Amino acid sequence: MRLLVTGAAGMLGHDVVAAAQNAGHEVGSLARAELDITDPAAVRAAVLDARPDAVVNCAAWTDVDGAEAEEAAATAVNGDGAGHLATAAAEAGALLVHVSTDYVFDGHAHDPYAEDAPTAPASAYGRSKLVGERAVAAAGGEHAIVRTAWVFGPHGRNFVDTMRRLGGERDVVRVVNDQVGSPTYTGHLAEGLVTVAERRLTGVLHVTAGGRCSWFELAQATFEETGTECHVLPQSSADLGRPAPRPAFSVLASTRPDTPVLPHWREGLRAHLARVEVTL
């Protein structure tokens, strides 16, 4: 299969390229510097030139707090850009695998969100991603919208590596304990996205790591796995004072039997730590 990966230099895109190559596929990769997905003519030219069987879109505005001040710019990437890719993929006869987020939900639920749960984003970032979902669906081509959550991996800034750094500098860290989700390792998610492309799955899918925890518990687990003697104290999201509201409950569930199943988040944490230890 011929795959085209956009946002290929990002934390997730890097691992999608690797996973596709490891699976024996022919892979074309375009980093943000090589393709501005807000430029519809450039997107069309790039996709038609690549002649892919599937496009995996990892290009995104991921600065959640920055989107609060620059919602139009975030929507140009996450919304309009996704639509441009969907239109070009449809013209090329390619499946678009588009990565979306738990932020399209308000986070007020107590049970995991299924694919058909009502969307109600509370932040500018979430709204921009929902615009993208709708643009992908409206383009009329074959597409899969893959929602995931709490992504971390070795090729970008992430919570786990921040904790590793702080744990080496401090005796105590404070971490929010009132947000719950499923931390998802990019290496596992990338394999899931390639599987979606291979099976040509369509529609909305929820693909996250198994299990759930709070950021507080993830910090504790990171220190346990690395043998770091750093004490974790709980704090509330309100105490943190971030510009963008975060969903308090971000656990996603899939009602589809064809959805790729990822390992438990703790397995993802161990896999990530094994990779980053090699680079130290």
Tally Cβ neighbours within 10 Å of residue 63. 14
| Distance, CA of 34 to CA of 31 (rounded, Å) | 5
Q: Taking every pair of C-alpha atoms in the chain, what is the biggest distance, in angstroms?
A: 56
Question: Within 120-176, where are the H helices?
Answer: 124-138, 159-169
**pLDDT band of 252, cuts 50, 70, 90:** very high
With 0.75 as the threshold, say if the pTM is over it. yes
- 2-158+183-211+251-265 in CATH: which number? 3.40.50.720
Per domain, the residue ranges of the chain are 2-158+183-211+251-265
Task: Decide: residue 253, CB within 10 A, 0-12 exposed, 13-18 middle, 19+ buried.
Answer: middle
Q: How confident is the model at residue 277 (pLDDT cuts 50, 70, 90)?
A: confident
pLDDT at position 280, please? Answer: 46
- 3-state DSSP assignment of residue 232: strand
Show which residues are catalytic: 125
pLDDT digits (tens, 9 = 90+) for 39-91: 999 999 999 999 999 999 999 999 999 999 999 999 999 999 999 999 999 99
